[in-house]
Amino acid sequence: MLNKIRSSPVLSRVVPFAVFAALTLFQGRLGDTSQYWIYAIKTIVGAWLICLIWPHVREMRWKFSWEAIVVGGIVFLVWIGLDGLYPMVARRPGSFDPGRTYGAGSTLALVFLGVRVIGSSLVVPMLEEVFYRSFLYRYIIQSDFAKIPLGAFNLKAFLVASVVFGISHYEWLPGILCAFAYQGLVCRKARLGDAITAHAITNLLLGFWVIARSAYYFW
């Protein structure tokens, strides 16, 4: 089964994201503390899946550029700046605040906060960018998606993939706008790595903001 996932251009890009997303569904549903330990589990599983597919998904490589840094910072500002300025289509399930559960400054609280920042900054960007920007965007253009260059622009795919990405988040409007930015970066640079870096910067800044401002509802 693992060999099949690694050798398939579709499965290697879809299965890791699908497994990660499936585990997300159980957060908070197996007791209040499950939102913390399931996040830790899915972060470990996600990192393992990245290692599994790394040699076979060639575009999944970090690339650093000034555009990636700027886009990552701007998306962070948009994400927090639009908060409360647009209607939510679903109620947030609750805040990820281990300090409330285990005590502020406790070892467990600090561990789970660290796991959240690491998971959202290192694991999530790679899995999501590979699925949305490498697979879904190109698959919408053509089922044999590997034949489509990463830098190819297609308006329909650009809009559809971005909306799908956006509505997969509770913050749907900034989600759509950030997908525009990340996909635009892929089209401009003709590679995925800059979008991975931008996504990581956005999530890292958001993580610091959440902890510094106790804005745990973003999580």
Q: Is residue 97 part of a domain?
A: yes
Q: Is residue 136 part of a domain?
A: yes
Q: Is residue 199 part of a domain?
A: yes
- Give the pLDDT confidence score for residue 7 in this predicted structure: 87
Secondary structure letter of residue 121 according to DSSP = I
Q: pLDDT tens digit string along 153-182?
A: 999 999 999 999 999 999 999 999 999 999
- Give the pLDDT confidence score for residue 1 in this predicted structure: 81
**pLDDT-based confidence at residue 113 (cuts at 50, 70, 90):** very high
Mean pLDDT estimate for the chain = 95
Residue 72's domain spans which residues? 60-218
Q: Is residue 40 part of a domain?
A: no
What average pLDDT does this structure show over 96-122?
96
- Give the pLDDT confidence score for residue 181 in this predicted structure: 98
Q: pLDDT tens digit string along 6-23?
A: 889 999 999 999 999 999
Q: Is residue 193 part of a domain?
A: yes
pTM: 0.95
Q: Is residue 148 part of a domain?
A: yes
| 92 pLDDT more than 80 | no
Contacts 24+ apart (CB under 8 A), 38-46: 39/96, 39/112, 39/115, 39/116, 39/119, 40/112, 40/115, 40/119, 42/119, 43/115, 43/118, 43/119, 43/123, 45/19, 45/20, 46/16, 46/19, 46/20, 46/119, 46/123, 46/124, 46/127
**pLDDT-based confidence at residue 59 (cuts at 50, 70, 90):** very high
Residue type present at position 131: F
Q: Is residue 26 part of a domain?
A: no
Count how many domains the chain has.
1
**pLDDT-based confidence at residue 89 (cuts at 50, 70, 90):** confident
- Give the pLDDT confidence score for residue 6 in this predicted structure: 85
CA-closest candidate to residue 121, choices 209, 16, 15 = 209
Q: Is residue 24 part of a domain?
A: no
Percent of the chain with pLDDT over 90: 91
Q: What is the CA radius of gyration of the chain?
A: 17
How many residues in total does the chain contain?
219
Q: pLDDT tens digit string along 190-202?
A: 999 999 999 999 9
